[in-house]
Amino acid sequence: MTRVLPDTPAELANPIIELIAQGLGKHPSAELWRKLVAVDLSFYKSPLSEELRAEGRAEGRAQGEARRAAEDVLAVLAERGVGVSEEARERITGCGDAETLSRWLRRAVTCPSADGIFTEE
């Protein structure tokens, strides 16, 4: 005789996931819980899953903006004919901070060298 396990309906699983997430609150284990259930939440329209998706979209946008800002810094330096070492290029493209990249972009307009954009004022 084959034993058949019943399916867990989404209507039951979703509230349980939410209840656990709310119960954990700001506890450090809450972040671990979110990571553990993130894959399963892709089918749900719960507040937690929507929050996770929004965080992912925001992170993706921030990374895209940083990538474009780094490309802008390099484009300004290239347009001005300023040589960029591989080390400087890696530092620029590896930076994910929008404020820093904005500062470097302003400096790239007038700096005589690529390394000059990194100097502190």
Query: Which pLDDT tens digit goes with each residue over 37-76?
Result: 776 545 556 777 778 778 888 888 888 888 999 999 999 9
Q: What is the mean pLDDT of the chain?
A: 81
pLDDT tens-place string over residues 81-92: 999 999 999 999
pTM across the whole model: 0.55
Sign of CA dihedral 62, 83, 76, 109: positive
